[in-house]
Amino acid sequence: MPKVIFKCPHIKGGTERAASHLQNYVEYMSTRKGVDKIDPSESVLPATKGQRQMVAQILRDFPLSRGMFEYEDYHASPTRGNASEFITRALEENYDRIGKRENYLKYIAMRPNAQRMGPHGLFTGSDDHLVLSQVADAVAHHPGVVWLPIISLRREDAARLGYDNAERWKALLSGYATEIAKAMKIPWANFRWYAAFHNESHHPHIHMVCYSTDPSKGFLTKQGIADIKAGLAKEIFHQELTELYQKQTQRRDELNVDTQTILCELIEQMSSGTIQNKRIEELMSYLADRLRFLSGKKQYGYLKAPLKAVVDEIVDELAKDSRVASAYDLWYELREEVLHTYKDDLPERLPLSQQPEFKKIKNIVIAEAAKLSERQQIFAPDDQQEVNLPSTQEDLPSSDQLSLLLNVETDAPPEPFHKESSDAGVYMDWNERYRKARRCLFGSKDQPQDFKLAFALFEKEAQKGNALAMYDLGRMLTDGLGHEIDMQAAHEWYAKALTAFHAVEEQKKNRYAEYRIGKLYAAGLGCEQNYYKAAHWFQLSAKEEYKYAQYSLAGLIRRGYGVEQNDRLALELYTRAAQQDFPYAAYELGRMYRDGVGCSKSDAESNVWYRKAFDGFLGLEAQSHDDKLQYRIGWMMLHGVGTKKDESSAKEWFEKAAKLGNPYAQYQMAQIILNDSSSPHTQISQAIMWLSKAAAAGQDCAQYALGKIYLNGHGIGKDIQKAVELFTLAAEQKNSFAAYALGKLFLSGNPTLPKEPATALKWLTISAELGNQFAQYQLGKLLLQGEEVPKNVESAVRWLTTAAEQGNQYAQYALGKLYLLGKVVPPDREAATKWFRLASDQGNEYAHYFLEHMDDRLGPPPAVAVISLFHHLANIFRDENQRLPSGGFRAVVDRKLMRKIKAKKIAQGHKEDDHEPTMTL
């Protein structure tokens, strides 16, 4: 094998000692005298004791001398001649460390065996005559670094290739000097070099002196030395390397054929089941399962150490196969055959998983595992959707109590109204003071709103025993109108009102008192909520054709609260109340005919009742200016129900009700502002103010919406803890959306809210039980995956089915996949088709795909993934073998590392494009 040895010591100039040393080196290099000649008759005798001691001393002092040709010869044959050659060359190459007296440059130019080109042997790239003393002086007084390269060949290589004379070396170095300058980072205009050829008997060699006329320029790294050496090898052994590359090309072609044959046989055998690698199958299945829960890029560099170790083990398992091992050995032999030309010590062979040239296989392993994961994955990858509350009152999630309060919104007395009293000193009386108090509460044309005066008047009436005033005091204390909110005092006044109504009714049957008693029981005001008692009192009043009681009783029957659920009976009661010009009942009839509940669906009939309801609400509001009526009117105008759609007017009605403290109107005002992208910042602040008031009043939807704002930091800054507090308040009122939001928060976790799967499970379960389809889906997913909570397949399928039946497309897709795969549930093609079709109808692309590929193989199973890996590996071997160009083997450097090195050098003052060249032969 041809080989070149290149060494490059250097001396830092700028001191008197260095100048003397450099001058000595130049003279020594040109004029060394007194060389002992070896008698040919003695050259084959064994080395003397003194020579052996000198060799040992040199190896201790200069261990790198072991890499010299002369030492190789001496080590192979320890004769006197070889010992003399080694001692002479070793001392010569280390002159920069031991030479102090002789003129080194003169030595290399004029010593015996130095081929002269005039009075001395010194030459450079030009044909100008060199004055030895001038060159020696210039080198001696150079203030920068001076490099002293030595290039050595074996005698047989030098003779065969023509490098046994100074002219041939001058021609070589004159053409190659630019590459040396480039490797030394010296601009060509500043580069100076001189050389002399020593035609030694065994190993002819060249001594050089190189430096930059600009002392601030130039530095030589190990990579630079390797580049110079590789380039010299390419120039010197060009012809022989060409022949070598031709042989390598032939061997590569043979290797490609052999490798392809082997790998194709392997793939064929594995496809037929005659060869399997269970360990790789297990590792691929494990990796696929882990990748399902991995966010971000699924590439080797982005994986955490444990998963990287799994990928490495898979690659090394691949390498254990005898066919792959043989191909890898052949690839390494080709690589080392080229590297050996310019490397003394070949690097240790790496396992396949650590070989940079084969790192592509790692990402292929990950890609195959991801395919395995995707095809077997139950849940769609984009199922994380933003969930917001519906904007209409009819669909607002609320507790049973709030729902009933919304439906029972009038306390208007029958006309004429007579004072009803009891022996207990309590009474019901719509007297002038009580009526004035109501006018102050709601406002009128002649009486502006005055909450404090209303409160004072109600208080006087209540203290005198008026049950009506007691009830209104409780309401004002609850809403904070004319007085600070005081729930305890409010409860006490509600309780007094209930007792007073009972006393009045016991004294004399009164359908109005019966209605008011039923209302208090239904809402749980001043007592425990009791729908059974409420229905009883409403029935007593309804029998007397009292429209308010008929309406309230219909609401209980419609929902099955305290009585048996019956839509037809509810429709009948609503009709009887509506026929008495009661707009609330007319509104409910409009809804029932619209939806076909308790009757045949009829848009015409629905519109008739909606129009009557709207006109009736306007009439009632003109009399009482009640905030609940104002909210109703605003909602109907906003959505065009019973009237023309008019958002501007709707907003005015909502604002009136909001100012009266109606939390639903406050919530609606905020929604209108926040849903308008053009709303100015001042209105955004106002919307947040309305939400805050509604939330403080206990409106669960406002609490949820405000929590979302704090969660996302829109307009008021992000505050996760505040969001959690608001969500919790709403969730405790059975707001399913708030409970769902809490579940998602505790499931995901963040810096201010640690991940708590158990807490997440609790809130998701509450939300799911309240009928929230999004929570049902997430709960089913959580229980089926069994990653963060105990796995429960039966419950998971039940919740997924419940969500799917409500139209959740992701739950429908998941069920389709479950029944298609048939792993955790029995396979059911019909059920799979049904759920895929429902999801596809909603635009689910994943479901649409499987509808069209029901008969495709649901793989690839791990065994097929292993076969695919072998196929990819064959392609990588083919690519790698083709990467050995005619110019040699190209070293591959990690891009990230290259960027770091470049940044570091720029920080040290180097130019941006001043980086290491690619190493080639």
C-alpha radius of gyration, the chain, whole number: 48
Question: CB–CB of 705/670 below 8 Å?
Answer: yes
Number of alpha carbons in the 13 Å side-chain half-sphere of residue 77: 11
Over residues 6-35, mean pLDDT? 60
Q: What is the 3-state secondary structure (H, E, C) of 630-698?
A: HHHHHHHHHHCCCCCCCHHHHHHHHHHHHHCCCHHHHHHHHHHHHCCCCCCHHHHHHHHHHHHHHHHCC
For the ranges 101-115, 160-174, 440-454, 544-558, the one whose mean pLDDT is highest: 544-558
Q: Is the dihedral of CA 878, 879, 880, 884 positive or negative?
A: positive
Question: CB–CB of 851/833 below 8 Å?
Answer: yes
Question: Can you tell me the distance from the alpha carbon of 121 to that of 440, in angstroms, rounded to the nearest whole number?
Answer: 121
Which of the four pLDDT bands, split at 50, 70 and 90, describes residue 547?
very high
Residue 260, pLDDT above cutoff 60: no
Neighbour count for residue 579 (Cβ, 10 Å): 14
Domain ranges of the chain: 5-241, 248-376, 413-667, 891-921
- Token pair, residue 75, equals 């080590």
Q: What is the pLDDT of the chain when averaged over all its residues? A: 78
Question: Can you tell me the distance from the alpha carbon of 68 to that of 200, in angstroms, rounded to the nearest whole number?
Answer: 14
Over residues 93-104, mean pLDDT? 50
Hey, which residues does 665 pair with through a beta bridge?
none
Buried b (16+ CB within 10 A) or exposed e, 858-879: bebebbbbbbbbbebbbebbbe
Number of alpha carbons in the 13 Å side-chain half-sphere of residue 140: 22
Backbone angles phi, psi at 628, to 5 degrees: -70, -35
pLDDT digits (tens, 9 = 90+) for 782-804: 898 887 888 899 999 999 999 99
Q: For residue 741, give every residue at least 6 positions away whose Cβ sits within 8 Å of its Cβ, in sequence order, or none.
A: 387, 704, 707, 708, 711, 727
Backbone angles phi, psi at 421, to 5 degrees: -120, 170
pLDDT digits (tens, 9 = 90+) for 797-842: 999 999 999 999 999 989 998 888 787 888 898 999 999 999 999 8
pLDDT at residue 402, rounded to an integer: 33
Question: CB–CB of 526/520 below 8 Å?
Answer: yes
Q: How far is the CA of 405 from the CAs of 410, 491, 521, 646, in angstroms?
A: 10, 16, 11, 26
Question: Can you tell me the distance from the alpha carbon of 676 to that of 248, in angstroms, rounded to the nearest whole number?
Answer: 72
Question: CB–CB of 117/85 below 8 Å?
Answer: no
pLDDT-wise least confident of 287-296, 482-491, 724-733 = 287-296
Which of the four pLDDT bands, split at 50, 70 and 90, describes residue 569?
very high
CATH architecture label of 413-667? Alpha Horseshoe (1.25)
Q: Is the dihedral of CA 653, 658, 662, 666 positive or negative?
A: positive
Question: Can you tell me the distance from the alpha carbon of 180 to that of 184, in angstroms, rounded to the nearest whole number?
Answer: 6
pLDDT at residue 95, rounded to an integer: 56
Buried b (16+ CB within 10 A) or exposed e, 744-771: bbbbeeeeeeeeebebbbebbbbbbbbe
Which of the four pLDDT bands, split at 50, 70 and 90, describes residue 502?
very high
Which of the four pLDDT bands, split at 50, 70 and 90, describes residue 488?
very high
Strands 205-212 and 191-198: antiparallel
Question: CB–CB of 729/702 below 8 Å?
Answer: no
Q: What angle do helix axes 862-882 and 322-339 make, rounded to 10 degrees? A: 20
pLDDT-wise least confident of 565-569, 580-584, 789-793, 908-912 = 908-912
pLDDT digits (tens, 9 = 90+) for 301-311: 888 888 899 98
pLDDT at residue 344, rounded to an integer: 61
| DSSP reduced 3-state for 856 | coil
Q: Which of 321, 325, 312, 315 is nearest to 276 (CA)?
A: 321
pLDDT digits (tens, 9 = 90+) for 846-900: 888 788 877 654 444 555 566 566 566 666 666 665 554 433 444 444 455 556 5
Count of positions (residues) in the chain? 921
Q: Which of 113, 57, 49 is nearest to 90 (CA)?
A: 57
Give the residue carrying structure tokens 């030492």. 71
pLDDT digits (tens, 9 = 90+) for 116-145: 666 778 899 887 788 888 888 888 888 888
Question: Can you tell me the distance from the alpha carbon of 745 to that of 767, in angstroms, rounded to the nearest whole number?
Answer: 13
Buried b (16+ CB within 10 A) or exposed e, 101-138: ebbbbbbbbbbeebbebeebbbbbbeeeebebeebbbb
Transcribe 562-614 into DSSP letters. Answer: SS---HHHHHHHHHHHHTTT-HHHHHHHHHHHHHTSSS---HHHHHHHHHHHH
Q: Is the pTM of this model over 0.75?
A: no
Give the residue carrying structure tokens 């639903």. 664
Question: Can you tell me the distance from the alpha carbon of 679 to that of 688, in angstroms, rounded to the nearest whole number?
Answer: 12
pLDDT digits (tens, 9 = 90+) for 669-694: 888 888 777 878 788 888 888 878 88
